Amino acid sequence: MLLGSGELGKEFVIAAKRLGQTVIAVDRYAGAPAMQVADAFEVINMLDGDALDRIVEKHRPDLIVPEIEAIRTERFYDYEKAGIRVVPSAKAANYTMNRKAIRDLAAKELGLKTANYRYATSFDELKAAVAQVGIPCVVKPLMSSSGKGQSTVKAEADIEKAWQIAADKGRGDVAEVIVEAFVPFVSEITLLTVTQMDGPTLFCAPIGHRQERGDYQESWQPVLLPDGFLEQAQEMADKVTRALGGAGIFGVEFFITREGVVFSELSPRPHDTGMVTLAGTQNFNEFELHCRAVLGLPIPEIRQERPGASAVVLSSIDTMHPVYTGLEKVCAHPRADIKLFGKEEARQYRRMGVVVLNAEPGADVLALQKEARQLADLIEVKVPK
């Protein structure tokens, strides 16, 4: 049972179906991307614990695979006790669906280097937290993804707006934010980390990414890091995934500074920046890795085979049943591909597809990033005639 049925869930379902699995896709609205390729679907508010209990009892799945944050994750412990395996584990899903739990685990329990941070449950507490961590700082809802509800406070006048954005855009019912001191980073990376039931923890080559509005725009793989930095990131990723337990892929995000690596966030599932692996950069893409790991199938190695880049296709309009132009321009490129997610509703800045591109080993990945962006910009989201 897949809880959350967006574009990442859709690719996971495709990987699962190729391994003979039966998948029930769940989301708050009908026609979600993963529902289009699943065996069955349910439409519920996953923050309604009773509704969640009902569909779990109805389908009695062997595995529950969360894909989003807005889930009554504390119920996962009961499902595990009933013999249903939660991916990667009930603890991992519960901790990482809430930024407070995972940040305290990383910083306080494991001693990982993170940005200075505070929490706030009201506007007055937010003002006090900003005063403690300093300006500039970043304000994020405790429950959100893809940058939703995130904003940067550059002056005191921004604090009230930041509180409002977090309240409007955060997911779930947790009216609390995390305030992080701004880290003067050189770049950001995602380190896809695969934990196995009966094998060693494996790491994909690091993925670079660029964000706007807190949401990823392009990603590229591999990223060359200064000597010792990759080892720092792998050590931190191993510590935090080991503490959370279970088997599956984790998207572990880091800031790369001039001095070293700083832990940022963690997702217990395939990561949006990891869509670059759909370009054939590895022997297995991130969704195939996740599926193998959760099914307990061995992954002998993760092999980086070629450089690649991805760039998202964003909508600039609001419409139902959008149509697309420019596909032939992307398809004319010999090393590019496009994945349209099949979302029935387009709205401004919504992610509607992704262009992926690869090159021969040794190619300049930053040049690939720019090329992927140019190709993605050829796709236009239009109102149907």
pLDDT tens string 256-313 = 999 999 999 999 999 999 999 999 999 999 999 999 999 999 999 999 999 999 999 9
145 given a catalytic annotation: yes
pLDDT per residue as tens digits for the range 226-267 = 999 999 999 999 999 999 999 999 999 999 999 999 999 999
Specify if 304 maps to a domain.
yes
Q: Are 315 and 381 in contact (CB under 8 A)?
A: yes
Which pair of tokens denotes residue 318? 């609001």
Q: Which of 181, 198, 215 delimits the end of a domain?
A: 181
Confidence of residue 170 (pLDDT cuts 50, 70, 90): low
Q: Are 267 and 96 in contact (CB under 8 A)?
A: yes
Q: What is the CATH number of the domain that holds 9?
A: 3.40.50.20
Catalytic residue among 292, 351, 353, 371: 351
Specify if 101 maps to a domain.
no
104 given a catalytic annotation: no
Specify if 107 maps to a domain.
no
57 given a catalytic annotation: no
Q: Which residues are annotated as a binding site?
A: 7-8, 67, 99, 140, 145-150, 180-183, 188, 253, 265, 272, 343, 350-351
Q: What is the CATH number of the domain that holds 132?
A: 3.30.1490.20
pLDDT per residue as tens digits for the range 342-354 = 999 999 999 999 9
Specify if 285 maps to a domain.
yes
- If one counts the domains in the chain, the total is 3
Q: Give the β-pairing of 207-212 and 215-221.
A: antiparallel
Within this chain, do residues 74 and 8 fall inside the same structural domain, yes or no?
Answer: yes
Within this chain, do residues 140 and 279 fall inside the same structural domain, yes or no?
Answer: no
Specify if 82 maps to a domain.
yes
Catalytic residue among 272, 286, 288, 371: 272
Print the domain residue range for 168.
116-181
257 given a catalytic annotation: no
pTM of the model: 0.93
Q: Are 76 and 99 in contact (CB under 8 A)?
A: no
Rounded CA gap, 334 and 285, in Å? 20
Q: Which of 181, 212, 236 delimits the end of a domain?
A: 181
Residue with tokens 């296709």: 313
Which pair of tokens denotes residue 148? 């939703």
Element (H, E) at 339: strand 336-340
For 286, phi and psi rounded to 5 degrees?
-65, -30
286 given a catalytic annotation: no
Within this chain, do residues 55 and 164 fall inside the same structural domain, yes or no?
Answer: no
Within this chain, do residues 245 and 307 fall inside the same structural domain, yes or no?
Answer: yes
Q: Which residues are annotated as a binding site for ATP?
A: 99, 140, 145-150, 180-183, 188
Specify if 93 maps to a domain.
no
Catalytic residue among 27, 218, 265, 286: 265
pLDDT per residue as tens digits for the range 214-233 = 789 999 999 999 999 999 99
Within this chain, do residues 254 and 287 fall inside the same structural domain, yes or no?
Answer: yes
